[in-house]
Chain A
Amino acid sequence: MRVPIDWLRDYVDVPAGTTAQQVAADLVRVGLEEEAFHGGGVTGPLVVGRVLTLDKEPQKNGKVITWCTVDVGAANGTGEPQGIVCGAHNFEAGDLVPVILPGGVLTTPQGPMVVGARKTYGHVSAGMICSELELGLGEDHDGIIVLTRRFADDPEMLARLEPGADAIPLLGLDRETVEVNVTPDRGYCFSIRGIAREYSHATGASFTDPVVDLAEAAPAATDDGFPVRLEDHAPIQGRAGCSRYVARVVRGIDVSAPTPRWMSQRLVEAGMRPISLPVDVTNYVMLGLGQPLHAFDAATLGDAIVVRRAAPGERITTLDGQDRALHPEDLLITDGGRTPIAIAGVMGGAETEVGAGTADVLVESATFDPVSIARSARRHRLPSEASKRFERGVDPELAPAAAELAVQLLTAYGGGSVDPGVTDVGTPRPIVTVDLDPDYPARFVGVPYSRDDVRRILTEIGCHVEEVATTGGPRMRVTPPSWRPDLRTAPDLVEEVARIDGYDRIPSVVPTPPSGSGLTHGQRARRIVAEVLAGQGLTEVWSPPFVGDTRHRDLGWDPQEARARTVALANPLSEEQPLMRISVLSTMVDALVRNVARGAKDVGLFEVGLVVARDGEQRRAPTEDVGILPSEDTLAAIHAAIPAQPRHLAILLTGDRDRAGWWGGGRRADVTDVIALAASVAEALGVETEVRPADDVMPFHPGRCAALHLADGVLLGHAGELHPKVVASLGLPARTLAAELDLDRLIAASEVTVQARDVITSPVAYSDVALVVDETVTAAAVEASLRSGAGDILESVGLFDVYRGDQVGPGRKSLAYRLAFRAPDRTLTTDEVSGLRDRAVAEAARVVGAVQR
């Protein structure tokens, strides 16, 4: 809401010399935050100049410039004519124009611009003759402002147009506007009246409610007013679409009469474009008082206005020329119930628009239901100044006063006469009183407000306060003012007390909660996972969880199957990425690509984040009205509709795992590195995992992928090299390595408390064996057979060499192990060790066909 300070002064006593910044600082204390300041940006010298001579000079580039000499009086210090080059052609010698002299400052979209003397087109141009755009007075930049024309109808102003006179006050450039953000609960602040009231609350300045006099001046409803029937047969949530409709008719008006300059100036300052007298008057009243009005050309109306809901299939062409299909929930203003002539409170129809031929105007000043208007405005994508106010609730007592001000202004500036008939139909919703425990504000805020404080503040904001006795004790029965539909509960009133008394008076007291139990196991475990990986050289990243079919295809997945596991967004940022990710890798690869594109070669990344794992049909989650605890069934249905979102860990690795340097070459990361990283996380959480080959899991290389399982066989995820096709389609470096684990499963498994074993102190004995097996036999299988053959006394198995070659033959490999034996209670003899080793080898021979070399 833009608030011209000059307009604010009409209703509240703003001390002379108060700047827009000061006004904003006062308003912020009562909850109106400033958004911007307007005006006051042009600084002089900006003076009135008389054009003495004017020469049109065609240029080589086809442009014609105007070389002028301008009398600026003594403003330039010499009294000599000022030479200025100008591009405009809408003026002639003798005209009075605004001239900014060197040193003056204009506001431009790029910031303040200091005007200087400059050489151009063969002249020294000392200053500028200004257009509306350059001075921030309007959009017109084709021509400069001709003051004699601008003030043609204002003899008082014309008399002030002397060469050299300060043009800043003449053009209103000293006027300032503060723009404030109005929160959705305070619809009344979408008016100068409302802001003035808040300014008064903030500063104690005297406030004069303009509505008091206007309501008095407004004539009472008569029987012979323009017939209006409210026929809402389908109220939304039981609330009538129109609770009050005031209509006044002005006849014989000259719609071509100019809008008075003070009014159009205020409209511009408030951010609206002047259009015509009738439209400007309705906008002016809306901005001033907060009541949206609509002006119909009365001649286009039939015998009555009927307010009703739209019928199926009905259409309307709105003022903006759009033909719109109407929805049965749309509230309409219709001509006699037949033709729609406006979407109530949102936008008027083209057919009944006030135009050049209009002589009789019907002014509509109505109260429409916030929900109905909000839905229509959204449905038709027509957020208008009117709908913005109706959505937040318009003071129902305002309608007659606003109509009165409108007809006063119309007749004052457009002539004509007001019909004596006054229409005022409908039943405003009754204002609901709130019973307030007078001690409640103190108890709720923690400031010792006295009962007098509470009563005084509530009265100050317009409430009627009555003391009543109830079974619960003495209460204040508070009737909120008509413009405060947001005051419905005791806490609403408490906020008013705290706000007007000042939030700065609230003390600072740290509460003492009952002792908490600290982080959960899962929360601690996640920190460990991240720290372990960062400690091993990986950098933590996070990526927005949006993906599309293309990415799924690139990862080697069936896009339909992927969709079946997730949900789509109805309004994604990009049509390419309408899905929520089912894998962290699927979005995290972008970070790797970005790092590589920026020149990094050896990169290790990890991300921990949620993915979707929808299991079964997607169901609709029920909703519920506010303030109601849903039934158990509803809550269960809500929970059931939320898809499972497990937390995954993903790792990406490319380039060297050990870097090259002065010490020699690097060691390229290979599949063992990424498996080790994945396994390290489990190890750090004290969880035993088993690695199995996984030859058919995209996006991994079929021969270079490991599945990590828990001891009970539950799959944690995979680690390995990415499939060459995936690497190619994603543009990743060759041989990129990746892993993705279900971290929730891992953390759940880590919750078991480890049971400690005694450390054995008897001596260790080693024995080495080399076993030849088929290439297809895994190291894990060989190791398992050795362990099972040797039994508990085998303490560890270390694979220290893998050999392939002539000595073992094609399709075979030799694995060399060092077995470490340790008995809990004695020193093992050489014979015992040999016996154990032989049993291990025999078991390996039996299970995996190993032959000792």
Chain B
Amino acid sequence: MSGPNTNFDPVRVAALEPEALEEAVSTALAAAAAAAGLDELKAARSAHQGDRSPLALANREIGALPPSAKAEAGKRVGAARARVAEAFATRQSELEMERDARILVEEAVDVTLPTGRRPLGRRHPIELMATRITDIFVGMGWEIAEGPEIEAEWFNFDALNFDEDHPARQMQDTFYVAAPDEVVAHGQAASSHDGGHHDWPSSGLVLRTHTSPVQARALLERGVPLYVACPGRVFRTDDLDATHMPAFHQVEGLAIDEGLTMAHLKGTLDRLASEIFGEGTTTRLRPAYFPFTEPSAEMDLRCFLCHGTNPDCRACKGMGWIEWGGCGMVNHNVLRACGIDPERYSGFAFGMGIDRALMFRTGVSDMRDMIEGDVRFNAQFGMEI
């Protein structure tokens, strides 16, 4: 073994000198900072962190050092490489953020462009109104009953105490269903019960003139106690104009129980009025006449627009009150016709216009708009009313 080679002092390899390392690091940091984009950064990284970078070369030199110097040199090189790596990583994420932000800016579109590729449809506001009213009844614990539009005269009139000769039966402007062909052929239908209301033989069927026949149906089908509402389409022989429709919509309410009074009728109407037209909307009862109720009343609504303060009000025409429907205590004859004992049970009934409620609430002024099916009419309303 020869003596130490003093000409070659690996302890003093130039590339591993602190100054050299510092130089390499600062050059690398400058290059990282100078990279304007991710591509430049990539090239700089390859130059300063790649296999042929000064630090990589320096690292390789460590192997040549005597063991006593290895540890220290390794530490120095490691620290230098870590600083460079961190600088490149930081710059990498900065440039990525810049790129991402730029892409988002570039991808911006005009969000105010029209969007109606497939516009939403609409329900009919009368149906929405009926739904709203129905839900109020359900909320009060009532149930919803229904009946046919072509109805037996018995349900529409007889069961409701409309005597066949009573003037009230004439007030109804009823659509009568023509008699069966063979009855017409034999000319026999003008039975004694026909009462001469009309010139044609009787079929015993009409288009229901009100939703009240559902009262009798519900009583017969469900018995008592009974709290039902019936929204539905009804018919009168009116030609279509701004204020008349041959078919329109009503909701009927009927409550039969032990101990029901007119005060309960009033309470129910007040509740409905405030739910439909707003808190504090009250009702007024006026004496009236209906064959199926006794006592009977017309129901007026306190004007929910002006509360009776505007002589030019569009809703109440300055009257302060709006006529909304008829009501009363169910006539004993109606209960009897449905097999209910009027000595034990009492109750009340009321009917009101759904179309009218829609008109008051939303200012619809021409009834034709409600029946013609113009999509522009529905489009004014949302899916709730």
Query: Which A residues fall within an 8 A CB radius of B?
Result: 28-31, 33, 183-186, 327, 329, 370-371, 374-375, 378-379, 391-392, 443-447, 489, 491-492, 494-495, 498-499, 503-504, 506-520, 523, 527, 530-531, 533-546, 567-573, 578, 580, 588, 590-592, 594-595, 598, 600, 603-606, 609-610, 612, 617-630, 635, 638-639, 641-643, 645, 657-659, 661-663
Query: Which B residues fall within an 8 A CB radius of A?
Result: 113-114, 116-124, 126-127, 131, 134, 138, 140-144, 148-155, 157-159, 161-168, 170-171, 175-183, 189, 193, 195-198, 200, 202-205, 207, 220, 225, 227, 233, 237, 239-240, 245-247, 255, 257, 260-264, 266-268, 270-271, 284-289, 291, 294-298, 329, 331-333, 336-339, 346, 371-375, 378-379, 383
Q: Are B288 and A31 in contact (CB under 8 A)?
A: yes
Q: Are B121 and A537 in contact (CB under 8 A)?
A: yes
Q: Are B121 and A535 in contact (CB under 8 A)?
A: yes
Q: Are B120 and A537 in contact (CB under 8 A)?
A: yes
Q: Are A641 and B161 in contact (CB under 8 A)?
A: no
Given contacts A491-B329, A619-B180, contact A627 B289 (CB under 8 A): no
Whole-angstrom CA separation of A444 from B151 in the bound complex: 31
- B189, B198, B204, B294: the one within 8 Å of A489 (CB): B294
Whole-angstrom CA separation of A626 from B166 in the bound complex: 11
Contacts of B204 in A (CB 8 A): 620-623, 638, 641
Contacts of A626 in B (CB 8 A): 158-159, 161-163, 291, 333, 337
With A29-B287, A491-B294, A509-B267 known, 7 other A-B pairs at CB within 8 A are A445-B263, A508-B267, A516-B143, A570-B178, A592-B373, A639-B152, A641-B203
Whole-angstrom CA separation of A33 from B321 in the bound complex: 13
Could you list 15 examples of A-B contacts with CB < 8 Å? A375-B165, A379-B196, A537-B118, A539-B375, A542-B373, A567-B203, A570-B198, A600-B375, A618-B203, A621-B154, A623-B164, A627-B161, A627-B336, A629-B339, A641-B203
Given contacts A184-B171, A594-B374, contact A571 B116 (CB under 8 A): no
Rounded to whole Å, the gap between the CB of A331 and the closest CB of chain B is 13
Rounded to whole Å, the gap between the CB of A387 and the closest CB of chain B is 10
Whole-angstrom CA separation of A603 from B205 in the bound complex: 37
Q: Are A514 and B225 in contact (CB under 8 A)?
A: yes
Contacts of A573 in B (CB 8 A): 237, 239, 246
- A508, A588, A635: the one within 8 Å of B266 (CB): A508
Q: Are A523 and B176 in contact (CB under 8 A)?
A: no
Q: Are A518 and B138 in contact (CB under 8 A)?
A: yes
Q: Are B183 and A620 in contact (CB under 8 A)?
A: yes
Contacts of A595 in B (CB 8 A): 373-375
Contacts of B177 in A (CB 8 A): 567-570, 580
Contacts of B181 in A (CB 8 A): 618
Q: Are A446 and B264 in contact (CB under 8 A)?
A: yes
Q: Are A186 and B289 in contact (CB under 8 A)?
A: yes
Q: Are B267 and A511 in contact (CB under 8 A)?
A: yes
- A370, A391, A492, A657: the one within 8 Å of B294 (CB): A492
The CB with the most chain B CB atoms within 10 A, among A443, A499, A657, is that of A499
Q: Are A519 and B144 in contact (CB under 8 A)?
A: yes
The CB with the most chain A CB atoms within 10 A, among B134, B150, B207, B245, is that of B150
Question: Which 6 pairs show the lowest CB-CB distances between chains A and B?
Answer: A591-B373, A31-B287, A621-B204, A446-B263, A541-B373, A446-B261
The CB with the most chain B CB atoms within 10 A, among A544, A570, A600, A627, is that of A570
Q: Are B375 and A605 in contact (CB under 8 A)?
A: yes
Q: Are B286 and A33 in contact (CB under 8 A)?
A: yes
- B159, B162, B262, B289: the one within 8 Å of A183 (CB): B289
Given contacts A184-B289, A539-B122, contact A498 B262 (CB under 8 A): yes
Contacts of A658 in B (CB 8 A): 117-118
Given contacts A513-B227, A605-B373, A605-B375, contact A536 B121 (CB under 8 A): yes
Q: Are A516 and B142 in contact (CB under 8 A)?
A: yes
Q: Are A629 and B336 in contact (CB under 8 A)?
A: yes
Q: Are B260 and A624 in contact (CB under 8 A)?
A: no
Rounded to whole Å, the gap between the CB of A224 and the closest CB of chain B is 38
Contacts of A327 in B (CB 8 A): 196
Q: Are B124 and A542 in contact (CB under 8 A)?
A: yes
Chain B residue nearest to A588 in the complex (CB): B373
Q: Are A509 and B264 in contact (CB under 8 A)?
A: yes
Whole-angstrom CA separation of A375 from B163 in the bound complex: 13
Q: Are B165 and A370 in contact (CB under 8 A)?
A: yes
Contacts of B122 in A (CB 8 A): 534, 539-540
Q: Are A530 and B127 in contact (CB under 8 A)?
A: yes
- B131, B167, B179, B371: the one within 8 Å of A620 (CB): B179
Contacts of B267 in A (CB 8 A): 507-511
Whole-angstrom CA separation of A374 from B159 in the bound complex: 21
Whole-angstrom CA separation of A639 from B264 in the bound complex: 33
- A186, A370, A594, A623: the one within 8 Å of B154 (CB): A623
Whole-angstrom CA separation of A625 from B375 in the bound complex: 47
Contacts of A618 in B (CB 8 A): 180-181, 203
Q: Are A185 and B123 in contact (CB under 8 A)?
A: no
Contacts of B371 in A (CB 8 A): 542-544
Contacts of B374 in A (CB 8 A): 591, 594-595, 598
Given contacts A184-B171, A491-B331, A491-B332, contact A568 B178 (CB under 8 A): yes
Whole-angstrom CA separation of A327 from B196 in the bound complex: 11
Chain A residue nearest to B189 in the complex (CB): A620
- B124, B150, B333: the one within 8 Å of A540 (CB): B124
